[in-house]
Structure 1
Amino acid sequence: MPRFALKVEYHGKPFAGWQRQKDQPSVQGAIEAALARLEPGPHTIAAAGRTDTGVHGLGQVAHCDLTKDWSPFRLSEALNYHLKPAPVAIVDCALVPDDWHARFSAIERQYLFRILVRRAPATHDAGQVWQVTQDLDVAAMQQAANHLLGNHDFTTFRSSICQAQSPQKTLDELRLEQVQGLSGPEVHFHVRARSFLHNQVRSFVGTLERVGAGSWDPVDVKTALEARDRAACGPVCPGHGLYLARVGYPDDPFAVDLQHA
Structure 2
Amino acid sequence: MKNIKLTIEYDGKRYLGWQRLGNSEKTIQGKIEQIITQMTGEKIEIVGSGRTDGGTHAKGQVANFKTNSPLSTQEMIEFFNRYLPKDIVVKKAEEVSERFHARYNAVGKRYSYHVWNNPIPSAFERQYSFHHPQQLDLDKMNQACQKLIGTHDFIGFSALKKTKKSTVRTINELTIHQEGSLLQFTFVGDGFLHKMVRIIVGTLLEIGAGRLAPTAIDDVFNHKLREHAGETAPAHGLFLEEVFYKSQK
| TM-score of the two chains, using structure 2 as the length reference | 0.95
Matches within 5 A, 1:7-156: 7-23=7-23, 25-85=26-86, 87-156=87-156
User: Distance between the aligned counterparts of 2:164 and 2:237, measured in 1?
Assistant: 23
- Number of the residue aligned with 2:212: 216
Of the structure 1 ranges 160-169 and 198-207, higher mean CA displacement relative to structure 2 is found in 160-169
- Number of the residue aligned with 1:236: 232
| TM-score of the two chains, using structure 1 as the length reference | 0.90
User: Distance between the aligned counterparts of 1:157 and 1:243, measured in 2?
Assistant: 18
**C-alpha spacing 1:106/1:217, structure 2 compared with 1 (3 Å):** same
Q: Unaligned 5+ residue runs, structure 2?
A: none
- Number of the residue aligned with 1:205: 201
Q: 1:187 aligns with which of 183, 187, 207?
A: 183
Q: Secondary structure at the match of 2:33?
A: helix
Summarize deviations over 1:193-214 as a string: whole Å, max 9, x none: 1111111111100000001111
Query: Percentage identity across aligned positions?
Result: 31
Matches within 5 A, 1:246-261: 246-252=242-248
Summarize deviations over 1:203-259 as a string: whole Å, max 9, x none: 10000000111111212222222221112111111111000000011114xx9xxxx
Question: CA offset at residue 164 of structure 1?
Answer: 6.8
Question: CA offset at residue 70 of structure 1?
Answer: 2.6
How many aligned residue pairs are there? 248
**C-alpha spacing 1:66/1:77, structure 2 compared with 1 (3 Å):** same
Q: Secondary structure at the match of 1:237?
A: coil
Summarize deviations over 1:108-158 as a string: whole Å, max 9, x none: 111000001122333222221111111211221011111111111112102
- Number of the residue aligned with 1:259: none
Instruction: Give the root-mean-square deviation of aligned CA atoms.
Output: 1.6
Q: Secondary structure at the match of 2:106?
A: coil
User: Distance between the aligned counterparts of 1:9 and 1:173, measured in 2?
Assistant: 23
Q: Unaligned 5+ residue runs, structure 1?
A: 256-261
Contact 2:7-2:91 at 8 Å conserved across structures: yes
